[in-house]
Structure 1
Amino acid sequence: MKPSLAKGTRDFTAQEVSRRKYIINILQNNFELFGFQSLETPSFENLSTLTGKYGEEGDRLIFKILNSSINEAKEDKKTVMLNDFQRALEKPFSSESLTDKALRYDLTVPFARFVAMNHGQLTFPYKRYQIQPVWRADRPQKGRFREFYQCDADVVGSESLLQEVDLIQLYLKSFSDLKVSVTIHVNNRKILSGLAEYAGITDKLIDFTVALDKLDKIGKEGVVKELLEREISQKSIDKLDFLFSQSNDALENLLQLKEKFVGNEIGLKGVEELEFVLTQSLSLGVDMQNLVFDITLARGLDYYTGAIFEVKADEAQMGSIGGGGRYDNLTAVFGVKNIPGIGISFGLDRIYLVMEELGLFPEEATSKMEYLFANFGGEETLEALKLIMQLREKGISAELYPENAKINKQFTYAEKKGIKNLVFLGEEEIKNRTVTFKNLEAGEQKTVSLEEFLG
């Protein structure tokens, strides 16, 4: 059988792994610089932990794990199994005898589960970062995979809007360090709730936000069509038409909302919160070209309750490369109330694609072997191995070509592998305590003393 990859997954070459580590190291350093501590959670969770947290569309994308007992079922259980499968097709989350585990969909819900289980031992506000893979049964396309990494930073146990301001700083510093020019789009779910109340569609809030969240993908006409399909009246849609023609002045747009939200408590609260975040960010020197109030930003996850963020690369067409928001009620679904939270995520895979497209990876982002020692056989091989050991003790990468092959073959190996220097330690060099090496990038060859070579 011809080998193949599962759809939506990838193998990573040595260069790709090195470049991914380069991104991760920058993010990890900044997470710790901002006071976050690391956490890891299992790759799969109880299905009940995940379902109902991501909205109807999100729930459909959860990868469920077939119970191991299904594989051990005896012949007389086949009819029961078939009935279970039929029920699972009709109601995907109803048949626990088929599946009660699932691969994690994101890192936020498992984090909320962790906090709910361990809140008595945690010091609040609790700041954690997490860099691990997640899985979604999505349709693979450019920048969208079924297995991908998220790099999250979350704070729980604080209602202070200064957390929003700090996370904006974390985004801007991290992308600045990566040399990726970005725009952070911000909104507030309370504003969206206020808009639903203003348009008389409070009972259709989820339908409204799910459709609005697709604006950048399907345009105004597509959003209007979906709103109608979700049984939102044309009259309500007309009241919301101003959403599609916002000015570039965030504070001016907020002032317009204040006028429309007179007597609308939740809407005014959202405007007040967002105004604070924007003005504080401005005071800290954030360029409003990099921080945009996007009133149509909805983010489809049901658990957001306040500020929401989405990060887009300025010089590449890649969709969002980061996102997040406030989720003040998430731990409540696990029986632990009054633990507010806010978090952001960096999309490692999409950031990689953007940096690759724009040629932003520095040379040091690709690890290369420093020295390849040519294999001459006999005593020379043993002396080469001794020298290689000394280099490795100094933290310098080196290896010996395994066979006493023709020198051209050893040259070709070094060039194809991207090794920087080819070392010749022959009989003459051993007698004179010297080392001859050729820099394969510059094409220069020189002989130096053994002491000079080891530095």
Structure 2
Amino acid sequence: MKPTLPKGTRDFLPLDIRKRDYIFNIIKNQFHLFGFDSIETPAMESLETLSGNYGDEGDRLLFKVLNNGDFLKDVPEEILGSKNSNKAITHLSKRGLRYDLTVPFARFIVMNRQHIKFPFKRSAIQPVWRADRPQRGRYQEFYQCDADVAGSSSLFYESELIRLYDEVFDQLSLPVTIRWNNRKILYGIAESAGLKDHFNLITIIIDKLDKIGNDGVVKELESQAFHSKDVSILMDMISTTTLPELKDKMKSEQGHLGISEMERVLSFLDSNGLKNELLFDATLARGLGYYTGCIFEVKAKDANMGSIGGGGRYDNLTEIFGMKDVSGVGISFGVERIYDLIEEKKLFPESVLGSKNTLIACLDIDSFGYAIKIQNMLRKLNIACELYPEPVKLQKQMTYANELGYAHVAIIGEEESRQNKINLKDMKTGQQSLLSFTELAEIICQ
């Protein structure tokens, strides 16, 4: 059998894991500093939980899990005969792999409300799955890193999440633009253009602007039989680049409320300047159907890559689970794309790319016990080390050390054991010294 990977998935080698841990650790540290507590939810959710929250396109990208046992037995013959997969799926599958971490979070809140205190600040770093077409920076299995606040409508949290984005990408030395908008503004634009009854469809089309451009958006809007005058008003408003300019054009109470919300968020940011660019973008739509207020999207500067972060305010997400009046806001980091960008731009620090610490090479079986003792003493000092598993020829052990990138080799033979010493070789300079254990520990800790 030829070994293969499912499309859109990847293996990660040890160096890859070190690089990914570098990113995860920076994000986790900032989550901690901003007061977000970690939770976890299952890889699978009920399809009933997942469906209907991501728009028609998102629902098509859900991975369904076949029911256990004879999954065909409950499918009516007429549906099997028609080969209608959309009708059959309700009989074939009751579960799906999670599409994101936000909808499971809403379900989590409702089921665990007796254990949490509002406002509840949660973080989660877990894999998600989407049956999307794999391409550069887009995978079918990938990690998301989310931070959300549930149970508060305070716009202060929007400013906190902007700061969180700013701090993480500054720590990663990856300059970004944090684009933001407000769904109320989008609704106001649609209402001002006389198209409020088609708001959901309009946001889906506007959300494609990066992919199909202005002409493509106009073409799609006109294909819906919208009047060209209304389309012209819409396109003029979404091309507006400042809130004051948009306020002059806005003819919607809801739209003005969205502008006021954004101005309120900006007032919380005045006292502490950002290191990255915060850019108002009236074209930003975020196609997911659950957003109701401010929305965010992050893109790296000077990079041919899609968004590496996104999120927004959702006021009604828990309502589908029977729990009303729980407003939330959250953001997500697209770790896979962040990883690819940092790799491409060679931004991983030398400490991440650097060598492993120390290999202990034992030359004879009688010295092996002493070598084990040295290994254990180093580990008690929290010094990473490894003992080669058998006393083979030194050349073989040195080759192993070179191939795995060890910084030092501690050589132990009959003479070293007799003197209670260790012969330490610096693999970069080739310098070799006979040392006591204390001297050894001091050198390899530098």
TM-score by length of 2: 0.94
Q: Which residue of 2 aligns with 1:62?
A: 62
Task: Give the secondary structure class of the aligned counterpart of 2:19.
Answer: helix
1:286-365 aligned within 5 A? 286=274, 290-365=277-352
Q: Which residue of 1 aligns with 2:217?
A: 223
Q: Which residue of 1 aligns with 2:45?
A: 45
Residue by residue over 1:144-172, the C-alpha shift from the partner in whole angstroms, topping out at 9 and shown as x without a partner, is 00000000000011111111011111111
One-letter code aligned to 2:128? V
TM-superposed CA distance for 1:119, in Å, is 2.3
TM-superposed CA distance for 1:451, in Å, is 3.2
Q: Which residue of 2 aligns with 1:202?
A: 196
Q: Which residue of 1 aligns with 2:261?
A: 273
- Alignment partners' CA distance in 1, 2:257 and 2:269: 19
149, 153, 158: which one aligns with 2:147: 153
The alignment of Structure 1 onto Structure 2 pairs a total of residues equal to: 442
1:178-257 aligned within 5 A? 178-243=172-237, 245-247=239-241, 253-257=242-246
Task: Give the secondary structure class of the aligned counterpart of 2:308.
Answer: strand
Q: Which residue of 2 aligns with 1:250?
A: none
Residues 12 and 126 of structure 1, relative CA distance in 2, 3 Å threshold: same
TM-superposed CA distance for 1:377, in Å, is 2.4
Q: Which residue of 1 aligns with 2:27?
A: 27
Task: Give the secondary structure class of the aligned counterpart of 2:177.
Answer: strand
TM-superposed CA distance for 1:316, in Å, is 2.0
- Alignment partners' CA distance in 2, 1:78 and 1:244: 50
* 8 A contact 2:410–2:422 mirrored in 1: yes
- The share of aligned pairs that are identical, in percent, is 50
One-letter code aligned to 1:284? N
Residues 81 and 395 of structure 1, relative CA distance in 2, 3 Å threshold: farther
Residues 156 and 311 of structure 1, relative CA distance in 2, 3 Å threshold: same
95, 98, 101: which one aligns with 2:92: 98
- Alignment partners' CA distance in 2, 1:138 and 1:49: 20
- Alignment partners' CA distance in 1, 2:114 and 2:391: 64
Task: Give the secondary structure class of the aligned counterpart of 1:236.
Answer: helix
* 8 A contact 1:39–1:128 mirrored in 2: yes
One-letter code aligned to 2:79? N
One-letter code aligned to 2:330? G
85, 104, 107: which one aligns with 2:101: 107
Unpaired runs of 5+ in structure 1? 248-252
* 8 A contact 2:74–2:91 mirrored in 1: no
Task: Give the secondary structure class of the aligned counterpart of 1:11.
Answer: coil
TM-score by length of 1: 0.92
Residue by residue over 1:335-381, the C-alpha shift from the partner in whole angstroms, topping out at 9 and shown as x without a partner, is 11000000000111111111111111112224743111223122122
383, 400, 406: which one aligns with 2:393: 406
One-letter code aligned to 1:36? F
Task: Give the secondary structure class of the aligned counterpart of 1:403.
Answer: coil
One-letter code aligned to 2:246? L
Task: Give the secondary structure class of the aligned counterpart of 2:146.
Answer: strand
- Alignment partners' CA distance in 1, 2:17 and 2:178: 27
TM-superposed CA distance for 1:85, in Å, is 8.0
* 8 A contact 2:360–2:386 mirrored in 1: yes
* 8 A contact 1:220–1:244 mirrored in 2: no
TM-superposed CA distance for 1:258, in Å, is 1.6
One-letter code aligned to 2:243? L
Please state if 1:36 is matched with 2:36.
yes
Task: Give the secondary structure class of the aligned counterpart of 2:91.
Answer: coil
* 8 A contact 2:175–2:301 mirrored in 1: yes
1:360-399 aligned within 5 A? 360-366=347-353, 368-399=355-386
Residues 81 and 437 of structure 1, relative CA distance in 2, 3 Å threshold: farther
- Alignment partners' CA distance in 2, 1:419 and 1:159: 53
Residue by residue over 1:411-437, the C-alpha shift from the partner in whole angstroms, topping out at 9 and shown as x without a partner, is 221111111111211112222222111
Residue by residue over 1:190-224, the C-alpha shift from the partner in whole angstroms, topping out at 9 and shown as x without a partner, is 00000110111112111111111121222111212
Residues 86 and 42 of structure 1, relative CA distance in 2, 3 Å threshold: farther
Q: Which residue of 2 aligns with 1:135?
A: 129
* 8 A contact 2:130–2:141 mirrored in 1: yes
- Alignment partners' CA distance in 1, 2:102 and 2:428: 46
Task: Give the secondary structure class of the aligned counterpart of 1:283.
Answer: coil
Task: Give the secondary structure class of the aligned counterpart of 2:356.
Answer: coil
* 8 A contact 1:207–1:227 mirrored in 2: no
Residues 339 and 78 of structure 1, relative CA distance in 2, 3 Å threshold: closer
> 23-32 or 227-236: which moved more?
227-236
Residues 405 and 81 of structure 1, relative CA distance in 2, 3 Å threshold: farther
* 8 A contact 1:151–1:347 mirrored in 2: yes
* 8 A contact 2:239–2:283 mirrored in 1: no
Residues 254 and 450 of structure 1, relative CA distance in 2, 3 Å threshold: closer
Q: Which residue of 1 aligns with 2:248?
A: 259
Residues 452 and 138 of structure 1, relative CA distance in 2, 3 Å threshold: same
One-letter code aligned to 2:399? T
TM-superposed CA distance for 1:69, in Å, is 2.8
1:119-134 aligned within 5 A? 119-134=113-128
One-letter code aligned to 1:221? D
> 40-49 or 170-179: which moved more?
170-179
TM-superposed CA distance for 1:80, in Å, is 4.0
TM-superposed CA distance for 1:81, in Å, is 6.5
* 8 A contact 2:189–2:237 mirrored in 1: no
One-letter code aligned to 1:234? S
TM-superposed CA distance for 1:398, in Å, is 1.5
TM-superposed CA distance for 1:143, in Å, is 0.5
| Cα RMSD after superposing both structures | 1.9
Unpaired runs of 5+ in structure 2? none
- Alignment partners' CA distance in 2, 1:147 and 1:414: 34
- Alignment partners' CA distance in 2, 1:454 and 1:15: 25
Please state if 1:419 is matched with 2:412.
no
